[in-house]
Amino acid sequence: MKRFLAKRLIASTVIMWFATVLVFSLSRAAGDPTYLFISEYTTDEVIAEWRKEFGLDRPYPIQYITWLWPAIRGDFGASLNEARPAFDVVIQKVPATLQLAAVSFAFAIAVGIPIGALSAVRRGSWWDLIGRVIALIGQATPNFWMGIMLVLLFSVQFELLPTSGRGGVDHYVLPAITLGSGSAAGLVRLTRSAMLEMLDSEFVKFARAKGVSGETVVWKHAFRNSLIVPITYAGLILAGFTTGTVVVETVFGWPGLGRLAVTATNDNDFPVMSATVLLFTLMYIIVNFVVDVSYAIIDPRIRRA
């Protein structure tokens, strides 16, 4: 287990390092990076000072270190758009994104797993049909369009829910459904097939033959064991949320990291964007690390791989 942890930790660090190299290389890819870091409305003296400080005439590895070293401690330079450090702008948006992700995750689990299980147990019933429709819609519908259509239906037509922004519980409903729908669809499919496999397995048949009642076999024996599959999918769900939050937060004007990434891109605010990317990558890596380690705890075979 220790070896496994060490290996995963090294792999995570390498990915993080790769992300910093990627961001740095992109910043130099188009030539002179001065205006990526400094507003064009700055005076010539300030620009000259900045260029001297960052040593644009020195070799790239040195420039990389000059950029990376402050960045590790949270200094990405000043935002080009707001008169404060880029990191402050970014870190302020984290809670909103995490809250939305948590609610969406809960929604995906609460819808996906029960419906997936029920559609396997009652094959060909209404539950199965609902499961199929969710799987179909959730997988093929682009998030941004689903969000707009939900607004059209529930905010414009029925005037039930707010169109955008962050506020009370009602503000979470539409964004969470939009963000969670793809994952819910995946969970329905996975839980359904895992459950069908379990219901067909020898130990379930044995339990039935022994005379255990139908309901107990289904929920205590088959369902519990088939839960492993959707749990292993949880990591992929959270990873998928990084793309999802960017789109969903933009549609619903949710003041989180994803929307910040888009506004920073539109404003060409490189310091803010580089901080956002690295922070997102860090969260992404932490999630994957935690998920990997928890599989290893659940399933000892993974530790040896």
Task: Give the footprint of other proteins on this chain (CB under 8 A).
Answer: 11, 14-15, 18-19, 22-23, 26-27, 29-30, 36, 136, 139-146, 148-149, 151-152, 156, 239, 242-243, 246-247, 250-251, 261-262, 264-266, 268-270, 273-274, 276-277, 280-281, 284-285, 288
Q: Inter-axis angle of helices 94-121 and 257-266, to 10 degrees?
A: 120
The smaller minimum CB distance to other proteins, of residues 218 and 256, is found at 256
CB of 260 to other proteins, least distance (A): 10
The smaller minimum CB distance to other proteins, of residues 119 and 143, is found at 143
Neighbour tally for 297: CB within 10 Å: 11
295: tokens are: 């599989």
Rounded to whole angstroms, how far apart are CA atoms 302 and 219?
27
The smaller minimum CB distance to other proteins, of residues 182 and 221, is found at 182
CB of 242 to other proteins, least distance (A): 4
CB of 29 to other proteins, least distance (A): 6
277: tokens are: 């990317």
The smaller minimum CB distance to other proteins, of residues 125 and 243, is found at 243
> Of 240, 286, 249, which is closest to residue 93 (Cα–Cα)?
249
Q: In the block, which residue shows the tokens 């404060």?
A: 84
281: tokens are: 């990558």
The smaller minimum CB distance to other proteins, of residues 93 and 269, is found at 269
The smaller minimum CB distance to other proteins, of residues 94 and 262, is found at 262
CB of 176 to other proteins, least distance (A): 18
CB of 209 to other proteins, least distance (A): 29
Rounded to whole angstroms, how far apart are CA atoms 238 and 284?
8
Sequence-distant contacts of 52-59: CB under 8 A, at least 24 apart: 56/32
Rounded to whole angstroms, how far apart are CA atoms 4 and 296?
8
CB of 215 to other proteins, least distance (A): 30
